[in-house]
Amino acid sequence: MKLFAIVLLAFNAAIAASKKVSYAGAKAMRIPVGNEVEPLLDIINQLELPTWKGLANGVPIANSHVDLVVPADKVAEFEKLTASMTTEVMHDDLGASIADEATPFTYQAGSVNETWFNAYHSYADHLQFLNDLVTSFPTQAEIVTAGSSVGSQAITGIHFWGSGGKGSNPAVVIHGTVHAREWITTMTTEYFAYNLLTNYATSTEIKGFVDKYDYYIFPVVNPDGFVYTQTTNRLWRKNRQSPPSGSTCYGTDINRNWPYQWSGAGSSTSACSETYRGVSQGNTPENKGVLAQIDALAADKGVQLYIDVHSYSQLLMTPYGYSCSATTSNNSVLQSLARGAVAAIQAVYGTVFTYGPICSTIYQVAGGSIDYVQDVTKAKHVFTVELRDTGTYGFVLPASQILPSGVEMYAGLRSLLANMV
């Protein structure tokens, strides 16, 4: 079977030259897959189509579906090749959808309120928002960093605490925007911080949550990639590491680079793949920074809860990703907590999430964060989330869904905080 290369040759050239990648006239499509995966795989390879979801080890997952992007100049050939297949349109003009997603918004420094969640924002504004939260709660919050990116940008988060004082309790650690194009994760993790801090003084329940744990929330673990999605390529996923020897393809998938079960299935050795695991385990600066920080917290008061927030697919998952047969020692506890959390999420707007171990719920993932945090960091409760939606919009989620995503996911977090022991 042919080795699947996820990145277009033209796309690589655009990256190397740092030219703006245009998606005008491109289509995002969903292709249902039956038992026979070869016909679709051949089309993907022939047209060199980037995919969003539905591949495992470079191959379409049988009895599932593949979400992919068809560049404007390949639409006619794609339609010809898939004439006998069932196809569904996610974005008829992906460029237009990306333009619509960019709701105009001017952030005024110091204006910490819910209007922040009406639009997506620049990275500079995200940093300002976190600083403004800290300024609003100066005795209860601080800016923290967890190392730096490839481009020497600090990986910036917010740490806040309750009546016991800074550093007095076990940690809750939440990571967002590990994959650069997943903008909704940036906003949702910020909603957690905003909601917990702004309601601390008026909600007995929230005061109890914040008094019990120290919270470390990092809305953008991948700052270089995130900035790149705003300046150059909206759908960029990886970090911005330079190509390894013999390749012209940039970037490593930070969530395939963790130094535990690193070399297994579910990650790629090809630098051109979206799931490229890197030249060695744990070699990305971003990984080194967040790993060192969470391990230090574990060695201090312990890590009670870790959540790695991604999009899209509406899933709440537990370890393991590297194996579909291995089971965590606390699996029954994690599944019970996940079941309660997805019920709480659904109770808000009716949004349905599926829960279970990564490998059996979505696909096999080697070198992922939650397997490391489960077995090496030894955090007590470990989850990864795939936020809205299930494929209507995919990675290009309208700004109108930012606040609903935050509200429903807080309901899930609330369930976890209320039921963890």
**Catalytic machinery residues:** 386
Strand-pair partners of 384: 308, 317
Contacts 24+ apart (CB under 8 A), 115-120: 116/190, 116/194, 117/187, 117/190, 117/191, 117/194, 117/402, 117/403, 117/406, 118/399, 118/402, 118/403, 119/399, 119/402, 120/183, 120/186, 120/187, 120/399, 120/402
DSSP state of 374: I
Half-sphere exposure of 154 (CA within 13 A, CB side): 10
- CA 196 to the chain's CA centroid: 21
- For 176, 418, 419, the CA distances from 310, given in Å and listed in that order, are 7, 23, 23
Among candidates 57, 109, 90, which has minimal Cα distance to 394? 90
In the block, residue with structure tokens 């309901």: 411
Backbone angles phi, psi at 258, to 5 degrees: -65, 140
Residue 344 tokens, joined? 């709480």
Which secondary-structure segment (H or E) carries 88?
strand 88-91
Backbone angles phi, psi at 294, to 5 degrees: -70, -35
